[in-house]
Amino acid sequence: MPTPRLHVPLGLLVAIQAAVSGVSLVVEIVAGRMLAPYVGMSLYSWTSIIAVVLAGFSAGHWWGGHIASRPPRQALIITGWILLAAAISTASALLVLRLIGGPVLEAVSHPVWSIVALTGGVFFLPSLFAGVPAPVLAQIAVTAQADQSGRALGAMFTAGAVGAIAGTLLAGFVFIPWLGTAVTLAIVTAVYLGAAALIFWLARPLSRPVATIALAALAIVLGTLSVTRLSSCTSESQYFCIRVLDMSATSGSPVRRLVLDHLSHGTSARDLPRTMFSEFTAMLDAIARQRMQSRPFSAFFIGGGTYSVPRAWADRNTGPITVAEIDPEVTRTAVRDFWLDPAGITILDEDARVALQRRPDARYDVIVGDAFGDIAVPAHLITREFFQLVRSQLSKNGVFLMNVVDFPERLQALGAITATLQSVFPSVEIWTQASLPTPGEQRVFVLVAAVTPTEFSTITAAAPDATRFAVMAQSFTDRLVARSSPAILTDDYAPIDRLLGG
């Protein structure tokens, strides 16, 4: 006996498919922001997110294909339940991440596998459930439109693609920067609940137990959302989860630290604008000023963060200061929470490489590289092409300084960046704290590139305690560059994540 056809409007099926596809992609984009406070945002984290979400979608499509072979009304009811599961797993994602984040990172020591495990634990189930409706709805559309099955199938595929595009754009340009992670997940959950309600309606008549359980599921979702928030973010921007931590020893003398995603980007004190609280800012400040020999100089900063060094130089009145900080919210945070006075400082809300390219006639005595994504300098800011751009905009006796974080047991990233700088600048020096590293330590280095070498080899600066820094011997630099791989980083090939990750 043939299975009775459901008379379902194609437009309604298209709308449901577009909505479910759209919010499933919103979850994929939100995943990066959610994981950032735990593992940062790097090539590895985005690779894991895309792989886990696609794995969930694939398994869901396979499952949905089996469900689609059932009678239409039964298939719709099962799909409705699965969308309720998608709503619950999505609403619970922040809570699940908070519960398993610490234990997973402690249990899995390998940095890549820990990201994969954490991503899978939080986002596989929401993606699995979100992947089920597509084949079910497509099958029903084709069955309901038997005389125009090809048109119906094309409409369903188009709806999924258009919904995914819309979800991606809304997540990146509207939901996350304007509403934040928790509210975005609430919207996704509401869409799943709405889609489940429509699907149950299409499968009518419903029995009383189904309606009762559906209401219970809605209550669970709302209860979960009411106690869940992205706990660690002071604010969320288009780029970062921004946290401001109070490090004050006394209430009358505030000291604060800026954390972007999971990485500290600087510490500043209200009453000590010239005091540096980290090794890299102490080196950048002291080496640059001593090379300039107390004369006024113009400076360009690649990255703002807490604006510790620009704030100190503005207080010293060293000369014109320009800062390219891509995230306006970071600058607003520096003004609001880190006592930055933007008067007298030219602040560019754009990528530093773009900022330099747009101002080819500008010249600077000092250019400071202090931009980080996750624990690495962004790849486009460590290539030979970028360093050529930097050199072209330095004055005759100008100097370029940038900080690099690497593991002393490896130093592959440091070696590759040094070799790349040497292909552009006649003199490249490696500076670091004048002490032996401890096993497993992440050591901070400052690279100094110029036409002529620095006339001094050691310097003592407050970080905030008096700390001695020294330039590495040329023989060390030569050996480091000799074993560097790849020898030169270019716009075509700059595998900084791999060089740091090991």
Mean pLDDT value of segment 145-159: 86
Mean pLDDT value of segment 481-500: 84
Whole-number pLDDT of residue 331: 95
| Local confidence band at 358 (pLDDT 50, 70, 90 cut-offs) | very high
With b for 16 or more beta-carbon neighbours within 10 A and e for fewer, the 39-71 pattern comes to bbbbbbbbebbeebbebbbebbbebbeebbebe
231 pLDDT higher than 60: no
Which residues, in sequence order, are bridge partners of residue 301? Answer: 323, 368
375 pLDDT higher than 90: no
pLDDT tens across 8-63, in order? 788 999 999 999 999 999 999 989 888 877 877 777 888 899 999 999 999 999 99
Whole-number pLDDT of residue 145: 77
Query: What is the spatial distance between Cα 295 and Cα 288, in angstroms, rounded to a whole number?
Result: 11
Percent of the chain clearing pLDDT 90 (strictly above): 59
Bigger pLDDT: 172 vs 381: 381
Of the listed ranges 14-23, 283-292, 317-326, 408-417, the one predicted with least confidence:
408-417
Q: In this structure, are residues 94 and 33 in contact, taking their beta carbons and an 8 Å threshold?
A: no
pLDDT tens across 121-130, in order? 999 999 999 9
Main-chain phi, psi angles of 453, to 5 degrees: -70, 165
Whole-number pLDDT of residue 183: 82
Whole-number pLDDT of residue 1: 45
Whole-number pLDDT of residue 496: 84
pLDDT tens across 58-96, in order? 999 999 999 999 999 999 999 999 999 999 899 888 888
| Local confidence band at 222 (pLDDT 50, 70, 90 cut-offs) | low
pLDDT tens across 257-290, in order? 999 887 888 899 999 999 999 999 999 999 999 9
Nearest to 405 by CA among 258, 311, 243, 264: 264
Mean pLDDT value of segment 429-441: 88
| Local confidence band at 210 (pLDDT 50, 70, 90 cut-offs) | low
2 pLDDT higher than 80: no
Alpha carbon separation from 483 to 383, 410, 412, 442, 460 (Å, rounded) = 18, 11, 8, 20, 31
Mean pLDDT value of segment 215-234: 59
| Local confidence band at 483 (pLDDT 50, 70, 90 cut-offs) | confident
Query: What is the spatial distance between Cα 18 and Cα 21, in angstroms, rounded to a whole number?
Result: 5
- The DSSP bridge pattern shows strands 299-302 and 321-324 to be parallel
Tokens linked to 139: 């099958």
Query: What is the spatial distance between Cα 66 and Cα 55, in angstroms, rounded to a whole number?
Result: 17
Query: What is the spatial distance between Cα 251 and Cα 238, in angstroms, rounded to a whole number?
Result: 32
The structure's pTM equals 0.78
pLDDT tens across 292-312, in order? 998 999 999 999 999 999 999
Mean pLDDT value of segment 110-117: 85
Nearest to 496 by CA among 421, 386, 406: 406
The structure tokens 């994602």 sit at 93
Whole-number pLDDT of residue 45: 85
Mean pLDDT value of segment 246-257: 91
| Local confidence band at 333 (pLDDT 50, 70, 90 cut-offs) | very high
| Local confidence band at 5 (pLDDT 50, 70, 90 cut-offs) | low
Q: Which amino acid is at 498?
A: R
Tokens linked to 261: 């995603």
Whole-number pLDDT of residue 207: 58
How big, in percent rounded to 5, are the helix, strand and coil portions of the chain?
55, 15, 30
The structural domains of the chain, ordered by start, are 10-230 (1.20.1250), 262-501 (3.40.50.150)
Which of 200-214, 333-347, 438-452, 475-489 has the largest mean confidence?
333-347
Q: What is the mean pLDDT of the chain?
A: 88
pLDDT tens across 444-461, in order? 999 999 999 999 999 999
Of the listed ranges 3-7, 177-181, 332-336, 347-351, the one predicted with least confidence:
3-7
Of the listed ranges 102-111, 162-171, 249-258, 361-370, the one predicted with least confidence:
102-111
